[in-house]
Structure 1
Amino acid sequence: MKTTRTITHIWQSQPTIEGAGVHLKRAFGYSQVPQLDPFLMLDDFHSQHPADYLAGFPWHPHRGIETVTYMLRGEVEHGDSLGNRGVIGSGDVQWMTAGSGIIHQEMPQKTEGDFQGVQLWVNLPASHKMMPPRYRDVSTSQIPEITLESGVRIKIISGNIGETVGPVQDIVVPIHFLDVLVPAQTTFIHPVNAEDTVFVYVLESQGNFAPERSELIPAERLILFAKGDQIHVSTHTDPVHFLLLCGKPLGEPVAWRGPIVMNTTEELATAFREYHEGTFIKHGEQIRKM
């Protein structure tokens, strides 16, 4: 008998300002650790007003985490301290493993109409905090999309559904990252690993995410589930569009300040001292684009 997951928490994303003045919504962050282990943060930048996002995220360091940027609409130019450059366009993903340290920038470009993307932070285990940095640019054409018999459409960024596997593989903390659209008057039941942390972030419209609860949960809400073997999503007169994230908890201590996440305060102090001394980058010659 499969156990359907119940909902333990629902959070509404909160307005905040990051970078050089980017207005965004934080779905979760520091205050929710360790409830969403191995996930650390999810930001939703969504606006029709270029003044909200054009200031961007100028040069800043990361260590000890992976950052996953998924653009739904619009473009972001990016570059790093090792000379890598590129553009993340609509439907594209950048999966960057900061490891021992990288300095980069992300600069949104002016878009007519909606500009929307999300950035997810995934923790690295202590054994990989100081690994060589790497990144993957994944174009929308590389991301498989399947349509179930029910009409549910799923883009698989990482993980798999049956024999269909997402393009982001060989990652340190295996996670499932799915973009799901459930049509109106449809039920979607999806199996998950029983011990994984599982959450949904609603991007558009509304849906029911647990059969024991009657309310429809709208956009800009994050839904964290209890343990179980599957999630149950249903819709009424409207479709619902959401991100589904699943990952195995690390169960390790978290020491976090700004863009750097380590296991101890001593490691944090070392990282910031090295950044100010100019010795932050450890594996420049080994970084690779995948």
Structure 2
Amino acid sequence: MSVILSRHRGMPAQDGAGVKLTRIVNQPSLRYQDPFLMLDEFRSDNPNDYIAGFPPHPHRGFVTLTYMLAGRMEHKDSNGNTGVVEAGGAQWMKAARGIIHAEMPKQEDGLMWGFQLWINLPAKRKLEAADWADHPQGKLPVIQFEQAEIRLVAGELSGQKGPIEQAEQKFFMADLRLQPTATLELASQQQETRLAYVYQGEVSINGQLVPRGELVRLNALDDLTFVSSSSESGVIVLAGNPIGEPIAQYGPFVMNTQAEIEQAIRDYQAGKLAS
């Protein structure tokens, strides 16, 4: 069996107050990849593409994880949390029973480049208290190789542990950076859902070439060999075990049933979602 199960290109989208982005997971050719609900890449050096940001908006029922490659984004939420995520850093927000937050650029020009990943929560955790954590670049372990490195956001590798964790729900997220013509080996995480997105350059994965802007679904059990082309390359690798529960989504609310979605809307309208 080929290590690559399918290939998908992201599609242009807008969110927030008109921020231009690429929707990679949760678009017509690639729906939910349980437990991952959505993956967006935002990348532009044109302030008009990102300056309006993501003004205050609600969430319930899942987790957001923002990881930055360049630029600065400020987070503020209804629990009083505030922080700025910068290049190499990550922010984790457990919306759970409800939170209202804003994510706004802390720059007026220059490159803004990063990812937002939505991770589902099991039914028994969807109505827990909301939580938030800021992890600057220095808190993310970097595993160095001769011509490559792995920046570990979540999960365990080579005796290192990424800072982002969720109770009873292990998942893996790593940023692989390869110098030209470098080779990097990555063992299987033994998790059923496994994805790789090439965000820079192009790489061959077990002998199959994957260009920038393409996400591949991978066989869960194979060890991986990444070989970069003649330029520097970057790959986001995700792995996790499916929750296996029904998913009902309406915009920023992700629950298990339509009735729970309707309750989330009523709670938001009544000002009780984040209480």
Tell me the TM-score range normalised by the shorter chain.
Answer: over 0.9
The one of 124, 127, 131 equivalent to 1:130 is 127
Q: Distance in 2 between matches of 1:281 and 1:235?
A: 45
Equivalent residue letter for 1:97: K
Please give the secondary structure, in 1, of the residue aligned with 2:205: coil
Which structure would you say has the larger RCO, counting Cα contacts within 8 Å and 6 or more residues apart? 1
1:240 aligns with 2:240: no
The one of 189, 201, 205 equivalent to 1:205 is 201
Q: Distance in 1 between matches of 2:224 and 2:85?
A: 31
The one of 61, 65, 85 equivalent to 1:64 is 61
In the other structure, the counterpart of 2:93 is: 96
In the other structure, the counterpart of 1:117 is: 114
Equivalent residue letter for 1:200: A
8 Å Cα contact 1:184/1:237 also seen in 2: yes
In the other structure, the counterpart of 2:105 is: 108
The one of 182, 185, 188 equivalent to 1:186 is 182
Moved over 6 A (4+): none
Shift of 1:8: 1.4
In the other structure, the counterpart of 2:31 is: 33
Moved more, 263-272 or 164-173: 164-173
Shift of 1:121: 0.3
Shift of 1:172: 4.9
In the other structure, the counterpart of 2:147 is: 151
8 Å Cα contact 1:5/1:231 also seen in 2: no
CA gap of 1:255–1:40, structure 2 versus 1, over 3 A, is same
In the other structure, the counterpart of 2:221 is: 228
Please give the secondary structure, in 2, of the residue aligned with 1:267: helix
In the other structure, the counterpart of 1:252 is: 245
Q: TM-score, normalised on structure 1?
A: 0.89
Q: Distance in 2 between matches of 1:11 and 1:225?
A: 12
Residues 68-97 of structure 1: CA distance to partner in whole angstroms, max 9, x if unpaired?
A: 001111111110112222211121111011
In the other structure, the counterpart of 2:272 is: 279
Q: Distance in 1 between matches of 2:43 and 2:191?
A: 32
In the other structure, the counterpart of 2:259 is: 266
Structure 2 unaligned segments of length 5 or more: list them: none
In the other structure, the counterpart of 1:288 is: none
In the other structure, the counterpart of 2:77 is: 80
1:7 aligns with 2:19: no
Equivalent residue pairs, number: 274
Equivalent residue letter for 1:58: P
CA gap of 1:199–1:5, structure 2 versus 1, over 3 A, is farther
Q: Distance in 2 between matches of 1:271 and 1:13?
A: 29
Q: TM-score, normalised on structure 2?
A: 0.94
Moved more, 20-29 or 107-116: 107-116
Residues 216-270 of structure 1: CA distance to partner in whole angstroms, max 9, x if unpaired?
A: 3221211111332322322232332111111111111100110110011111111
Residues 164-199 of structure 1: CA distance to partner in whole angstroms, max 9, x if unpaired?
A: 111223445211111111222233221123342111
State the identity as a percent. 36
Please give the secondary structure, in 2, of the residue aligned with 1:208: strand
In the other structure, the counterpart of 1:286 is: none
Moved more, 112-121 or 162-171: 162-171
Moved more, 162-171 or 39-48: 162-171
8 Å Cα contact 1:207/1:239 also seen in 2: no
